[in-house]
Amino acid sequence: MRLLLALVYIGFGIWFYFRLGGSKLPPYIGIVFGMVLMFSSVVVCNEGFLRRIRGISDKEHINNLITNGMAIIESYKASEAITFEDLNTGCLCHVLKIGDNRAMCLYGQYLYDYAEILDDPDMEQQRKFPTDKFKLVRRTKSDEILRLDIGQNVIEEYKIESLRLENLYSLGFRLKNGEIVDGISFDKIRDACA
């Protein structure tokens, strides 16, 4: 949607340039105007641009969404976890057992903020997630995950180095952040990942 908005913004800018007589100006002015349009579209069409201009932080924005009923807080308890990296996208994925025959997929690069880092002494960090309890803030209309609040107790994870994603797809997973899959035992998921 933002890409479409950026294209409309650039198209309108080009139309406006020619309406003002841009065809009579030297070509370098048209090139500079086009570059300004292209680079300004990154700022103008960025999500939350107007919100940031008004000085509203991401945390305040999410709290406003919760207050207005546009987002909800969901609490979960996890007992087991499977972790792997999707080499196609570079995203980290956690498949969490959140109940009997119920699993959740958390997927995205933001999960690296909670991953164990041992190979860089400047950024060394212990693993912080998956935890036994955690909360998600989810947008009500689109099911988009806006925030992950982690718990205190880190649970054991089953790490997979090379996974055939087709095995998870065949079980009904789409590898969508916040996706919940019901009716499949976690043992079956673990076997498909092995």
Confirm if 158 and 190 have CB atoms less than 8 A apart. yes
State the pTM of this model: 0.75
Angle at alpha carbon of residue 34, lines to 32 and 37, rounded to 5°: 110
Q: What is the pLDDT of residues 51-61, one digit of tens each?
A: 877 888 889 99
CA dist 43 and 46 (Å) reads 5
Q: What is the pLDDT of residues 45-101, one digit of tens each?
A: 777 777 877 888 889 999 999 999 999 999 999 999 999 999 889 899 999 999 999
CA dist 141 and 70 (Å) reads 7
CB atoms within 10 A of CB 72: 12
Q: What is the pLDDT of residues 108-162, one digit of tens each?
A: 999 999 988 877 777 778 889 999 999 999 999 999 999 999 999 999 999 998 8
What are the residue ranges spanned by the domains of the chain? 2-67, 74-193
Closest CA to 186 of 124, 121, 101: 101
CA dist 159 and 89 (Å) reads 18
Q: What is the mean pLDDT of residues 5-15?
A: 86
CA dist 185 and 99 (Å) reads 9
